[in-house]
Chains A and B, each alone.
Chain A
Amino acid sequence: MDVAGVAEGADVAGGAAGPVLLEARGLRKVYGSGASEVRALDGVDFALHQGEIVVLLGPSGSGKSTLLNLLGGLDIPSGGTIRFDDHDLTKASGEALTRYRRDHVGFVFQFYNLIPSLTARENVALVTDIASRPMTPEESLAMVGLGERLDHFPAQLSGGEQQRVAIARAIAKNPQLLLCDEPTGALDSHTGRLVLGAIAEVNRRLSTAVAVITHNAVIAGMGDRVISLADGRIVSETRNAHRLSPLEMSW
């Protein structure tokens, strides 16, 4: 199969990156049944290596959010397998998925999903309270350049600042995997670049594997690899010779 071939080829070619961290094979996700059946994902093979940044590009409805949800253990596939290290996520119980998210995955959402009643520091503490080997909320916020705004509530922060809090919250557990769903979708381009810079910085300093979903093709430049999705399938994969710094990009 074409697509699988491309993905496997990428594996072999991925010399710059570390060992495979997360691997999906033949991933399918079907919503509804019968006439109203929607194939959100239709046979996707995908691998993520330690320390690399992968940008998933695609228009809305292409299945990229569904893929991210499955990779992050937020949802269960209708078919196929996902392996993280030695664990088969497709066979994992709800509790095991909760542990997986708690210990290994950091999420960044388009609309930040901060708890409005908690300050920046406390939002990060949500994670450090339950993670097994977290950094402190202060360290984590300093890493995204928010060391000064620890005790502000989300409503007192700009959109970009809120998203950086969300990144701090996502990385505070020292995750092996950072999944970002349209992290700049609600931001202007300047702020968006700052946020992407923070993500790239995290990747550089912690060698966290990063998957960024976007429909903004410009962002593709920051990735080691760029995977395009359409109609629930991977349609292309390219490898960037060198990653662009988010500050060099413009849209």
Chain B
Amino acid sequence: MKRPRALQVKLARDLWAARWQVVTIALVIGAAISGLLSMVGTYRALSGSRELYYERTDFPDVFVHLGRAPEAIVARLGAIAGVSSVASRLTEPAVVKVEDMEQLATAQVLSLPGGSQPTLEGLVLRSGRNVEPGRTGEALVLEAFATAHGLVPGDELRVTFGGRQQRVRMVGTVLSPEFVFSMGAGALMPDDKRFVALFLGRDAVEATLGAKGTFNDAVLRLAPGTDAIEVARAVDLVLAPFGGRGAVVREDQPSHRFVSDELAQLETMAIQIPVLFLLVGVFLINVVLSRQVATQREQIAALRALGYSAGAVARHYLAFVVVVAVLGSGVAVVAGELIGRAFCAQYAKFFRFPVLAWKLDVDLVAIGAGAAIGVAALGALRAVRQAASLPPAEAMRPPSPARYRKGLLSRLGLLRLVPPTGRMVVRELERRPLRAAISVLGLGASIGLVIVGNFTRDTIDDLMDSQYQRAMGSDVTVVLTRGASLEVLRSALALPGVLDVEPTAAVPVRLHAGHRRRDLAITGVAADSRLRTILDRRGRPIVLDRRGLTLAVAMASRLDVRVGDVITVERLDDHRTRQVEVVALSDEMVGRTAYMGLTELAALWGEEPTSHALLLQVDPLRLGELQRRLATLPGVAQVAETATFLAAFEATTASFSLTMTAIVLVFGLVIAIGVVYNNGRVTLAERERELATLRVLGFSGDEVSTVVIGEMAAHLVVGIPLGLWLGTQMADAIMGAVDAERYRMAATISFRTYALAALSVVAAAAATAMSVARRLRTLDPSSALKARD
């Protein structure tokens, strides 16, 4: 075997001598690149799976729901310019009773395409078979629901829709790109157990709804390059006489939107977190290599004198950081693979794609490794240039003593109160403000990351508290199949366990403000409501006793209206319009929300107050009894229990944020340790003689340690508030990536999270500082007296 060249041996020994610095920096770079690999990889997996899924199922471009229209109208929709195909269908909200759950599950019944010859167009069959033509009692069920309840083809469900209860046999399970999330209308989070889409033959749905020859829902596929929004406008014109509810383009389709938001958040983090890490990496490499070069001044001079060129010296030091970068990349590939798998496994729990395969693309690894090496080279730039340009004759002489001068604190005389070791700390900070600043930034970044890993939890807790515990006084919401007079309240009170009941109404409208328009349902709530409190931005209840509209903050900003503005409200079912003043803004998690007093809402249209849903306060002990009773009532379209909703919501978000929290916490600590360790070692190396001299002069090991530890403590003192601020900014940016109209969650960060972030970083920093300072106790005081070698 060929003997390695002496310079390579030197490189290897230098790396080994600085191994803990090499390892800690490689870990920081590894964390950065693994974050990049796992998040971008997950992003690609998700968006790729979605693309594939949409392609395979020919996912529609425009969706529209309407009152009801004759089938002949479909042709008119098909005649709209740019529309390549139209599929009409019937759909109806439903409730489903399954054996293993006392409560009713919310369901959406949809007719299969193909008329009396049902086809699987737009669906992916996962088990069983399709519904057979002419068989009315058969249905396809969303796979997630079947899995959650252990249902297999052949099992029976009790389904109530269109005011009729019927037994339906599940013949197969399917996936639908319209339900990548198992999420009912108006829900915030997917719930596999309590929401299901049921696909029945068109004949069966027509028979139940008495809707032969009509449709109430349609999906349109467009020719490439067609403006979907234009088509949606045209669709609205065609369907206006038939109670068209406003066509929705793909971007606003709830399931698509949910996935897009998730992707947007992922994208924000996939950039933010690695960039932050890489900045810290640049800094660490800069500090460590500059120190290396300074320490090896005479060695560099000797190499030059021996005939090594400036380029050879530069390459030698560059190789040092390239090795660090390559090590980091190695860590990143392993960690990125593991984290990416974990991410994808988490997403697979919510994103119902036919295939969601994690794959670490070669190009991504190349980009990651390239970024690592680029960052290392960037960090090394200054030191390598110093090394290469060091005039050999000059390097023969020991460097002149570092220049210190009296900084501001000294000149103000404040340092007179400080012991000499303290003065050494202050002078060092004053002498290298940039290094101190970047170290502070690194510590801040690690604190910020821990906050990012934890704030989702706080935000959800806060949401639960403000939006539900306070706002939702009701235990159960019962959605009725059709609007009922307020007489229904009396019969509701007679149900088992019901302590209090209130009506709510929902009127689908289009709001016009100038050229802006938005579709939503105005919710009518009793002016003196006890069961539903609407809160303003300061958390104060809004009383709906004025004639006027209360808009969600996000909606008001989308429409660009303020309190006092008058906007046009157009009913989507009969297109009557009214001018209504905006009287208040409410703080809502769901952006597409507007409220009016129940009686005002009815009076606006010259109608008697009706109720579309009932809010119930229930004796908890009799909840089961109530659920069983509701399951038998044909007028009940949906039953939602506030408590189970909250539990499902929390379970969903908690499992996800736990993975994220753990990973980001580790990342944050990696940075903190990397910064403190390397700073400490460099300080130690630079000042070894100085510190040994202190020992000669009679300072104890502990006293000398305070010089080094004091410097780190000073960095922390500034780094902590910076980190808390940085974390808050990052959290806001991540939540800001979610479309405010879908749901607005202001990032909430609890004191607990702030404390956790600060304390964990302080603990990591302190432990690291201690380990560095331990070397000081073993420092040989006589080394100060020896000549430099």
Contacts and interface: CB of A to CB of B under 8 A. Distances in A.
B302 A109 contact: yes
A76 B116 CA distance: 97
Nearest to B13: A117
Interface stretch (B304-312, B428-436, B526-534): B304-312
Contacts of A181: 396
B208 interface: no
Interface in B284-303: 298-299, 301-303
A116 B16 CA distance: 13
B30 interface: no
A99 interface: yes
Contact of A129 (B6, B17, B309, B310): B6
Interface of B is mostly: helix
A74 B789 CA distance: 20
Given A101-B305, A169-B306, A118 B393 contact: no
B307 A118 contact: no
B298 A117 contact: no
Contact of B305 (A107, A111, A118): A107
A130 B312 CA distance: 11
Interface residues of A, number: 40
B307 A101 contact: yes
A98 interface: yes
Contacts of B308: 98, 102, 126, 130
A175 to B, nearest CB: 10
A78 to B, nearest CB: 13
Contacts of A127: 306-307
B787 interface: yes
B10 A101 contact: no
A75 B393 contact: yes
Given A98-B309, A122-B6, A126-B6, A111 B14 contact: no
A112 interface: yes
Contacts of B306: 101-102, 107, 126-127, 130, 169
A69 interface: yes
B576 interface: no
A45 interface: no
A113 B10 contact: no
A111 B307 contact: no
A98 B6 contact: no
Interface in B1-60: 3, 5-7, 9-10, 13-14, 17
A17 interface: no
A72 B305 contact: yes
B787 to A, nearest CB: 7
B10 A118 contact: yes
A94 interface: yes
Contacts of B301: 113
A131 interface: yes
Contacts of B548: none
B411 interface: no
B392 interface: yes
Contacts of B302: 107, 109, 113-115
A37 interface: no
B9 A118 contact: yes
Contacts of B393: 66, 69, 74-75
A115 B307 contact: no
Contact of B307 (A112, A125, A130): A130
B6 A95 contact: no
Contacts of A94: 309-310
Contacts of B788: 111
A101 B304 CA distance: 8
A125 B304 contact: no
A223 interface: no
B6 A125 contact: yes
Contacts of A173: 307
A126 B316 CA distance: 13
A192 interface: no
B407 interface: no
A154 interface: yes
A176 B5 CA distance: 24
A119 to B, nearest CB: 8
B539 interface: no
A98 B307 contact: yes
A131 B307 contact: yes
Given A115-B302, A118-B6, A129-B7, A186 B17 contact: no
A42 interface: no
Nearest to A110: B396
Interface string A172-211: 0100000001000010000000000000000000000000
Given A111-B788, A113-B298, A117-B13, A74 B6 contact: no
Contacts of A130: 306-308
Interface string A74-86: 1100000000000
A219 B565 CA distance: 102
Contact of A111 (B6, B391, B789): B789
B609 to A, nearest CB: 88
Nearest to B16: A117
B491 to A, nearest CB: 90
A75 B391 contact: yes
Contacts of A116: 299, 789
Nearest to B301: A113
B317 to A, nearest CB: 13
A111 B298 contact: yes
A224 interface: no
Contacts of B787: 111, 186
Contacts of A186: 787
Contacts of A109: 302, 305, 396
A124 to B, nearest CB: 8
A239 B341 CA distance: 82
Nearest to B15: A117
A129 B7 CA distance: 9
A154 B789 contact: yes
A66 B5 CA distance: 32
B14 A117 contact: yes
Interface in B388-424: 391-393, 396
Contacts of A131: 307
Contact of B10 (A100, A112, A117): A117
A62 interface: no
A111 B298 CA distance: 9
Given A94-B310, A125-B5, A129-B5, A74 B304 contact: yes
Given A99-B307, A101-B305, A126-B10, 14 more contacts: A74-B305, A98-B304, A98-B309, A102-B307, A112-B789, A113-B302, A117-B17, A122-B9, A125-B5, A125-B9, A127-B307, A131-B307, A173-B307, A181-B396
22 contacts: A69-B393, A74-B304, A74-B396, A94-B310, A98-B309, A101-B305, A101-B307, A105-B305, A107-B302, A109-B302, A109-B305, A111-B789, A112-B789, A113-B301, A113-B302, A113-B396, A115-B299, A117-B17, A118-B9, A129-B5, A129-B7, A154-B789
Interface of B: 3, 5-7, 9-10, 13-14, 17, 298-299, 301-310, 391-393, 396, 787-789
Of all A-B residue pairs in the complex, the 5 with the closest CB atoms, nearest first, are: A102-B307, A117-B13, A113-B302, A125-B6, A75-B393
Interface of A: 65-66, 69, 72, 74-75, 94-95, 98-103, 105, 107, 109, 111-118, 122-123, 125-131, 154, 162, 169, 173, 181, 186
